[in-house]
Amino acid sequence: MSLFSLRLKITALLMATLLGACGGGGSSAPAPTGGITATAGDSQVTITWAADAGVDYWLMYAATATAIDMKSPPGNHVWVTSGVTSPLVITGLTNGVAYSFAMDGRIGGGSGGTQTPSVSATPAAATP
């Protein structure tokens, strides 16, 4: 078995475990009404959306300018699953690097609903 094949199998196993853990007794929820916006700052991006009552939101982001899919995330992705309320400030990002963000909703620990379209922002140092 090649190293590439082994990596694919491990990635598939990890994704299956993650997606299985996202399930539960609850139900999925629609993505936030109106989607999300990403506003770049100095080493940070602020994500805003219109929250629906009773919905827990999950955010995924990655250092990429291309659209991301929460069901098949890139290797360098990050999940934000607790304390996700609008506005959400993601800090510690690298200035000059494009980041893409997507979000979905869950009710009562259920599986994720339809994700928002992916949005991108590139943090930059403040100009004097």
Give residue-wise pLDDT tens across range 52-85. 888 888 899 999 989 998 888 888 899 998 888 9
pLDDT of residue 107: 85
Whether the CA torsion 51, 80, 60, 48 is positive or negative: it is positive
pLDDT of residue 97: 96
- Higher pLDDT pick, 109 / 19: 109
Side-chain-facing half-sphere of 4: CA atoms under 13 Å: 0
Taking the whole predicted model, whether its pTM rises above 0.85 is answered as: no
Distance CA 71, CA 52 (A): 22
Q: Where are the domains of the chain?
A: 3-121
Give residue-wise pLDDT tens across range 34-56. 789 999 999 999 999 998 888 88
Task: With H, G, I as helix, E, B as strand and everything else as coil, classify residue 37.
Answer: strand
Task: With H, G, I as helix, E, B as strand and everything else as coil, classify residue 7.
Answer: helix
Question: Could you tell me which CATH class the domain 3-121 is placed in?
Answer: mainly beta
**The 33-41 sheet, strands edge to edge:** 33-41, 44-50, 88-91
